Amino acid sequence: MYDLIIRHARLADDRLVDVAVQDGKIAVVGQLAAQTQGTRQLDLGGRYRLSAGWIDAHVHCYPSSPIYHDEPDSVGTCCGVTTVVDAGSTGTDDVDSFYALTRSAKTNVFAFLNISRIGLLRQNELAEMADIDKQGVQRAIEQHRGFIIGIKARMSSSVVGQNGIKPLVRAKEIQQENNQLPLMVHIGNNPPDLDEIADLLTRGDIITHCYNGKPNRILTPAGTLRESIQRALKRGVLLDVGHGTASFSFEVARQAIALGILPHTISSDIYCRNRLSGPVHSLATVMSKFFTVGLTLPQVIDCVTVNAASALQLTGKGQLQPGFDADLTIFDLRQAPQVFADAEGQSAKGEQLLVPLAAVVAGEVLLTDEGKAAHVFDL
């Protein structure tokens, strides 16, 4: 007797499988005998789709943040997302309180620790080098090992003030002193110049807002990929979408993808305002936008599952395989005309929309509003 059986689930590649869950882990992926029993059973009838649980690698879900804030479950399980990673909302001053409140969330919550002790208390958190306390960061990482999974440095002019590239140099020192934890680097307006930033990054570092439309972007005015970004990608630097309110351009994404420059991870940079008022709305909405710029459903799903788990070093997540965590997303792929907006005020027409129906976290089925309204599941 399994804890949960999901039958006739359609995968991103259109295969049909049954999945059995036991003790919070995936036990079987394949074809189960008709007589196999589960305490709870769902039959997706070959219509609804299943993947490993979606991972949003860039959110802002610390409710007490004065600038960008939300509730973890509002950007997580309520949106079909099983795991979220807060990207630098907190520094050493407030990571303890953030950790405490995430313990009651249904969503798996992790954090990139802001290298500034104040986190996102204000927009220019890296304008004072004295706020980057290397020893304090190390203590926080040790105290919250397993929750803090990386560090975050926002490298744009409004954040660093007169400090230029110095905060990133300090971030790389912190990274090297803490077992090469993932480093996520926000890129925006210069200075510092993107070439300076890219040339400091090494294998596994993550550039977020990779398709932003600002002048300091990954493409040259001629539409080719910057040489510094070419070198960084060859070294194993990763590209993350980080859509956000002001950091995603359809034009840049189309040009880059046409050049073969695909995102490693698709993330939302979601918080309450751009969730409610757009242009983000949800990770599913951001994922759906990539159908309009040339990605397939399997490619999109990989960007929020196996690729994300690898980039974030989340072992046990991101794959629909026996032995992995029973974090799953049940969703529909609806065919209907859509109009999507980017962060530049531009729109794109599409024909497909991802609609999350349920998040399964460690085997617990959590319906989204769409899942409840569809009356798909007898729970």
Binding residues for Zn(2+): 58, 60, 152, 186, 209, 269
Angle formed by the axes of helices 166-176 and 134-143, to 10°?
40
d(CA 116, CA 131): 5
Can you tell me the distance from the alpha carbon of 152 to that of 80, in angstroms, rounded to the nearest whole number?
25
Closest by CA to 203, choosing from 225, 180, 177, 185, is 180
Q: Compute φ and ψ for 163, nearest 5 degrees.
A: -85, -10
Burial degree of 350 (CB within 10 A; 0-12, 13-18, 19+): middle
Spell out where 44-196 has E strands: 49-52, 54-59, 81-87, 108-114, 148-155, 183-187
- Six token digits for residue 136: 């304090």
The H helix count followed by the E strand count for the chain is: 13, 15
From CA 268, how far away is CA 266, in angstroms rounded?
7
CB 371 within 8 A of CB 377: yes
- Annotated binding residues: 58, 60, 152, 186, 209, 269
Terminal Cα-to-Cα distance of the chain (whole angstroms): 18
CA 180/CA 183 separation, integer angstroms: 8
Nearest 10 degrees: CA dihedral of 274, 280, 284, 287?
-150
Helix H segments across 54-188? 72-75, 95-102, 134-143, 157-160, 166-176
Side chain identity at residue 111, one-letter code: A
